[in-house]
């Protein structure tokens, strides 16, 4: 089955700096890669996703890149703010059947220092 690895496990940056979180996946059939943000006491919330037919996607300060050949994808957050502090999860899926099963990375705890 699919295996998603995520690095780093913790990341501390100064406010205004950029943060990059990287994930690799093992199943070349995977074709959908969402990123979730989890704040304390809340469930994971989707912040951005990318499909396999796209190499990069951007939404304001957040961008995701995908390299299908190398089987890795990354989350980039620019101009970080304290409210970006949270745990971030990458995931991969690509079930050819109807019902999506997400394979998650182990999470990155991002701390943005004011």
Q: What is the per-residue binding string for another protein in 31-50, x denoting contact by CB under 8 A?
A: xx-x-x----xxxxxx--x-
Q: In this chain, which stretch among 15-23, 29-37, 66-74, 76-84 interacts with another protein, using CB under 8 A?
A: 29-37
| 104 near another protein, rule: CB under 8 A | yes
For another protein, give the closer residue by CB, 12 or 100.
Answer: 100
Neighbouring C-beta atoms of residue 76, cutoff 10 Å: 17
| 66 near another protein, rule: CB under 8 A | no
Q: Among residues 58, 61, 101, 113, which is the contact residue for another protein, using CB under 8 A?
A: 101
CA distance 9 to 35: 15
For another protein, give the closer residue by CB, 80 or 90.
Answer: 90
Structure tokens at 56: 């990069």
Minimum separation from the CB atom of position 18 to another protein (A): 25
Is the peptide bond preceding residue 8 cis, with omega within 30 degrees of 0? yes
| 68 near another protein, rule: CB under 8 A | no
CA distance 67 to 112: 27
Per DSSP (E only), the strands in 1-114 are 4-7, 10-14, 19-25, 32-38, 45-51, 56-59, 62-67, 72-77, 86-92, 103-104, 108-113
Give the interface with another protein as residue ranges (CB under 8 A).
Answer: 4, 31-32, 34, 36, 41-46, 49, 51, 89, 93-95, 97-107
């Amino acid at each position: 089955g699919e295996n998603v690895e995520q690095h780093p496990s913790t990341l501390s940056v100064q406010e205004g700096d950029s943060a990059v979180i990287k994930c690799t996946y093992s199943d070349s059939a995977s074709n959908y890669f969402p990123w979730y943000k989890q704040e304390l006491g809340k469930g994971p919330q989707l912040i951005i996703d990318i499909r396999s037919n796209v190499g990069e996607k951007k939404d304001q300060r957040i961008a995701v890149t995908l390299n299908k050949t190398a089987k890795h994808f990354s989350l980039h957050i620019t101009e970080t703010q304290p409210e970006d502090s949270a745990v971030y999860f990458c995931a991969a899926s690509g079930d050819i059947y109807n019902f999506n099963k997400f394979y998650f990375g182990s999470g990155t705890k991002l701390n943005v220092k004011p």
